[in-house]
Chain A
């Protein structure tokens, strides 16, 4: 199981990530994070069921959730490889353009050396890859204090704060 970093601590994860499922009936009980396509196919039933989040692949368009950002407690963004940087821009669209305020979680190949950049782009939860030490990874959040550019976490660029 991946370990979850949230609020700068390793915490128990109440959510289950559903990587693949076809049938609504197959969805296990409890809080589940489902693929975007599954959400779009069963949206009303999932809202009635409750305790559902959605995860996006790098090729998914976050704007598909424009009507849902207020209702979803958690959106996860998948990094199949940490070198696939699309998730950073997806996060910024969710935070900056769609005003998503819930938990934004990085899943997949999530490693210590990317945590600072992920956090700047609006992620506030990190499912550290299962074979890595999440406690050690916490240090990655503090690689830098702040940087120059305008980001989701700190919209005012350094030149407006200096």
Chain B
């Protein structure tokens, strides 16, 4: 993974010193609340319902065992002994004290981490494929490019006060695992007909209260121009994005108002002026960055593991776990393992200090000391020897990370909701748990197959409900918590936005509604059709009819 040099370390250290000074000036009354707010937000610090919340950046979701141990230490000494992994591949702590935050940032800096631009109206943590570098469908490893974008965007002086937040995803695979099309910028690596590397560039995707699928504004951007082109996009947005209404301030609104074609023309005009200039990325820089992401010292295996095959044949629970939580690796004899952070009864995405340390140990033992965070709020050990899978599974079961449901209905993506977040209209964690309890029959879940259920406690959509096959949104009706249900959303190459099925429900009705939606699917599916495919074929009408016939 990327390692800081003196320049990187000095920059982060100075950021810590800057924020320490800003915090002291705020506490002395020299900065007003309005003046301090954007400064603390751009260092990841929110003021939440119970206490401040600190969001720590995990650049493109890649974290080392050493860093995990520091996160565990911070959660234990400065928080309540746990952290929450987010849909932006970051981790957040819900209980730090404002006065302690500069010290926490200093501890993070000591392990090459920071909280820069994890909030605020600026370029946020760049995300990428959690299987980067090990996936079989990869054109390029996107991590050197994600690191390049991280560096460019870090303390970029022109874009610290954009109209609204700005999220970039980069992928190097043919199969999208980054939710690319619901990003402000999505860049997908492609090769042109003479084999040159470039990026297909999408803008204006996003979730929130006005969800949109991104528009392609450039079919092929020469790879070396990526930062010049991103500068051009950001400049057009910075100058023309709406600032009169924060709910209309994301780039997607201005792209729609201008039309994607006109927006693209403006970007091209701006790009023309900087094309080939100093911001053009030299090959040497990409080679330098790529050296941080070379293959670990893999052992050579002539074939996939026979012992692993035998263990699958031997044990139903193990074979289930292998089927759902293990993915094929580019190397023979290796596997990609997903650790579920969605065990029923624990808030989705949460991990305790002890669990973080245990994961660090597992990473050291089984996966070259590295862990990836997925935007579905699970963790990945990307380089596990197949011969070790059974032993690892036994350990993961003990730790509560082996729920064999990755990609199934109970692998729920979920924001912290009204239990923690001051923006939320409604709680989300207890609803997730009620659904997990209702669908506790593994055989049935397996029969239902791939089904993404995403839930957000408000229309900011941190729980990605718009792109859930089933989406749940917490809404406020006269001070009461209600839940609006949508179906038909999807992420990935075939991204689509869910459609709301009708009036919202009280909390206790939600599990029954999900059951009825599933019943319609089970009764009407054809062959191996997945839930999303049935919804696309039939539309929402039969689902809607069943749900509301029963309730009203």
Which residues in A have some Cβ–Cβ distance to B below 8 Å? 82-86, 88-90, 92, 96-97, 111, 113-114, 116-118, 120-121, 143-145, 147-151, 155-160, 162
- How far is A32 from B277 in the complex, measured between Cα atoms in Å? 36
Q: Are A150 and B155 in contact (CB under 8 A)?
A: no
Q: Are B38 and A92 in contact (CB under 8 A)?
A: no
27 A–B contacts, CB within 8 A, in A order: A85-B161, A85-B238, A88-B157, A89-B158, A89-B239, A96-B273, A111-B35, A113-B31, A121-B157, A121-B158, A143-B14, A144-B14, A147-B156, A147-B157, A148-B154, A148-B155, A149-B156, A149-B157, A149-B227, A149-B231, A150-B278, A156-B278, A157-B278, A158-B7, A159-B151, A159-B288, A162-B5
Q: Are B22 and A92 in contact (CB under 8 A)?
A: no
Pairs A-B, 8 closest by C-beta atoms: A85-B161, A117-B157, A120-B157, A150-B279, A148-B151, A159-B285, A88-B158, A147-B155
Task: Name the contact of A83 in the complex, choosing from B121, B153, B159, B282 (C-beta under 8 A).
Answer: B121
- How far is A117 from B9 in the complex, measured between Cα atoms in Å? 19
Residues of A within 8 A of B434 (CB): none
Residues of A within 8 A of B153 (CB): 149
User: SS class of chain B's interface: helix, strand, loop or mixed?
Assistant: helix
B30 CB, min distance to chain A CBs, angstroms: 9
Besides A143-B18, A162-B7, 15 other A-B contacts (C-beta < 8 A): A84-B243, A85-B158, A88-B160, A97-B273, A117-B155, A118-B157, A120-B158, A147-B154, A147-B157, A148-B154, A148-B155, A149-B156, A150-B231, A157-B152, A159-B288
Residues of A within 8 A of B35 (CB): 82, 111, 113
Most buried by A among B31, B152, B158, B161: B158
Residues of A within 8 A of B238 (CB): 85-86, 88-89
Residues of B within 8 A of A148 (CB): 11, 151-152, 154-156
Residue B235 lies at the interface, judged by CB distance under 8 Å to chain A: yes
Task: Name the contact of A85 in the complex, choosing from B14, B18, B162, B231 (C-beta under 8 A).
Answer: B162
B18 CB, min distance to chain A CBs, angstroms: 5
Residue B281 lies at the interface, judged by CB distance under 8 Å to chain A: yes
Residues of A within 8 A of B162 (CB): 85
Residue B311 lies at the interface, judged by CB distance under 8 Å to chain A: no
Residues of A within 8 A of B157 (CB): 88, 116-118, 120-121, 147, 149, 151
Most buried by B among A90, A97, A148, A162: A148
The B352-408 residues at the A interface (CB cut-off 8 A) are: none
- How far is A89 from B274 in the complex, measured between Cα atoms in Å? 14
- How far is A83 from B154 in the complex, measured between Cα atoms in Å? 18
- How far is A113 from B279 in the complex, measured between Cα atoms in Å? 26
Residues of B within 8 A of A96 (CB): 273-274
Residue B493 lies at the interface, judged by CB distance under 8 Å to chain A: no
Q: Are B277 and A155 in contact (CB under 8 A)?
A: yes
Residue B10 lies at the interface, judged by CB distance under 8 Å to chain A: yes
- How far is A155 from B227 in the complex, measured between Cα atoms in Å? 13
Q: Are B161 and A82 in contact (CB under 8 A)?
A: yes
The B158-173 residues at the A interface (CB cut-off 8 A) are: 158-163
The B230-286 residues at the A interface (CB cut-off 8 A) are: 231, 235, 238-239, 243, 273-274, 277-279, 281-282, 285
Residue B39 lies at the interface, judged by CB distance under 8 Å to chain A: yes
